[in-house]
Structure 1
Amino acid sequence: AFYLKGKAQFAPFIVTVVAILLTDLLRGVIVGIVVGFYFVVRSNFKTAIFTVVDENNYLFRLRKDVSFLNKAIIKQMLEKVPSNAQVLIDASRADFIDKDVIDTIEDFMLHAPLKNIHVELKKSRHRDQGFSGILDLDVPSEKKLSMAMENKLVTV
């Protein structure tokens, strides 16, 4: 019945047993731990961001923990957003967002006006996620960009 729990549960178990039989106990357990770690990282990597696209409207929902491992895929997704799009980045459900990911999101938000992209960031009300205050100012996006460049928040 152990195989009914899914591939992520069964694969490390069966790999550990086979590795123990083919080598010795220590090496078999180490191989099992490595395979288990792979499934944990893969699971966290997949579930960190949820995307919905409806015509020219984009929703990027950040979930639970968003580590530096997710930076490349988030940057790639944001770069694919076409001109004149509406984007909502929902970070309200994220418990942790790595500083590199925050920098990537803020950089996208600051440069979005150049492509006429309207971006809205929904942050958590209950925890400080590390986003800078410049994005919260009630000023036009072009002014935010010039203010950020003056403060050297953006390197061009």
Structure 2
Amino acid sequence: MPGAWEGDLIIGAHGKSAAATLVERVTRFTVICGLPEGKKAVAVADTVAERMWPFPEVLRTSLTWDQGTEMAEHARLTAAVNLPVYFAHPRSPWERGTNENTNGLIREYLPKGTYITSNQAYLDAIADELNDRPRASLGFYTPREKFEALLAADVASTN
């Protein structure tokens, strides 16, 4: 179903830095959210809401998150952008397989054990590279092409 997202945090060296990662399940479109305030629940909810707000509501149908305390303010996120948050079962990463795979791709740019920058322009550049990388699972289209097709379909359906 279009608009279903998976999310998680990638944690930097010594747990002192982090970024939220969001991946749309159908298109593999990726959003990386810098977290200058760290992984505090209010900051994570506000940052994710801010990054999700520009997308049409039809492409914000749900978010499946890991069991971390960083999403303790999930109701705040749901209220802000009408995005229901669901949680994967404990120790069940396959329930968010698209996000787990994408986090592996992000780790090519931000290896484990390194500081995760909160510089949003840099994180957006990483997401842009991933979104412009053709994927076999998408028939060698890019996530951006597939996501833009969903956006175009939404616009066409509202006219």
Q: TM-score, normalized by length of structure 2?
A: 0.30
Q: TM-score, normalized by length of structure 1?
A: 0.30
Of the two, which has the highest radius of gyration? 1
- Structure with the largest fraction of helix: 1
**Greater relative contact order structure (CA < 8 Å, 6+ sep):** 2
